[in-house]
């Protein structure tokens, strides 16, 4: 059963809870070493828990899994269950949300990912290709969760990033003057379940994302796209 914030008859809520943390890497405690100490992400002893068919395939894909980790958090919050990360990845790839050419991986590609979310998981979703901070707050205020493109360095918000965007976090609501979000590559518990004032969040925000409304189900329709289909194509560490 959906939580009270996610039933079709519930009024829009500006905050979703509870939303558990799902990381794109199998072992959350290793993320600091991966991000800042050169630790090989493929050496994670818990790689099998992601559903990866082999450790080699896990190593190839784990840096690109921020989007599917965000989706898994939404599904666990809304439905109480969800496929594992690699099952979600397989579905997203089937819809064209990731394209692999040799050793190069392009993705997450927003529009086919939204098609996948709608057609496979029956969730209302839309590409937000030209999203400013007011628009993000409006979406959160009307009960949406938003997979938001930010700099990966949002896990250390005291420092300004070199560039914005490229990594996806899940914004789950706005409360007490802060945007609350879950970061699939957070290196500490505090950075994985984080909150920032809008002006500080904006320093990392790439102005695009994917909105999801867990209160509404959809059946077999094309992705809603507000503008061109942006890509969060950079691997995350």
Complete domains list, the chain, with CATH: 14-225 (3.90.70.10)
User: What is the model's pLDDT at position 233?
Assistant: 46
Tens-place pLDDT, residues 59-95: 999 999 999 999 999 999 999 999 999 999 999 999 9
Tens-place pLDDT, residues 166-221: 999 999 999 999 999 999 999 999 999 999 999 999 999 999 999 999 888 876 44
Supply 158's token pair: 């005291």
d(CA 121, CA 141): 23
User: What is the model's pLDDT at position 83?
Assistant: 98
User: What is the model's pLDDT at position 96?
Assistant: 97
Tens-place pLDDT, residues 16-62: 999 999 999 999 999 999 999 999 999 999 999 999 999 999 999 99
- Using CA atoms, how far residue 24 sits from 51, 64, 131, in Å, is 12, 8, 25
Contact of 182 with 10, CB cutoff 8 Å: no
Q: Look at residue 117 and tell me whether its pLDDT is greater than 80.
A: yes
Q: Look at residue 2 and tell me whether its pLDDT is greater than 80.
A: no
Strands of the chain (E only): list them: 98-101, 104-107, 123-128, 145-150, 167-175, 178-182, 193-196, 205-217, 224-225
Taking the model in full, what pTM does it have?
0.92
d(CA 106, CA 190): 30
Q: Phi/psi at 194 (nearest 5 deg)?
A: -120, 170
Q: Look at residue 8 and tell me whether its pLDDT is greater than 60.
A: yes
Tens-place pLDDT, residues 120-157: 999 999 999 999 999 999 999 999 999 999 999 999 99
User: What is the model's pLDDT at position 218?
Assistant: 76
Confidence of residue 9 (pLDDT cuts 50, 70, 90): low
């Amino acid at each position: 059963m959906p939580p009270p914030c996610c039933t079709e008859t519930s009024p829009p809520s500006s905050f979703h809870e509870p939303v558990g943390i799902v990381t794109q890497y199998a072992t959350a405690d290793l993320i600091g070493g991966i991000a800042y100490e050169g630790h090989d992400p493929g050496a994670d002893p818990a790689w099998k828990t992601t559903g990866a068919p082999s450790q080699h395939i896990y190593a190839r894909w784990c840096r690109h899994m921020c989007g599917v980790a965000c989706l898994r958090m939404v599904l666990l919050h809304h439905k109480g269950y969800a496929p594992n990360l690699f099952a979600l990845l397989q579905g997203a790839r089937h819809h064209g949300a990731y394209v692999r050419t040799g050793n190069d991986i392009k993705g997450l590609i927003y529009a086919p990912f939204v098609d996948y979310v709608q057609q496979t998981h029956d969730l209302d979703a839309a590409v937000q290709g030209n999203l400013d901070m007011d628009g993000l707050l409006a979406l959160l205020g009307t009960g949406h969760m938003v997979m938001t493109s930010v700099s990966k360095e949002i896990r250390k918000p005291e420092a300004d990033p070199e560039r914005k965007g490229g990594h996806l976090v899940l914004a789950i609501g706005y409360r007490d003057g802060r945007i609350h979000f879950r970061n699939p590559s957070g290196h500490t518990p505090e950075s994985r379940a984080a909150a920032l004032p809008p002006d500080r969040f904006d320093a990392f925000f790439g102005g695009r994302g994917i909105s999801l409304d867990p209160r509404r189900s959809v059946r077999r329709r094309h992705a809603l796209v507000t503008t061109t289909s942006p890509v969060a194509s950079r691997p995350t560490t």
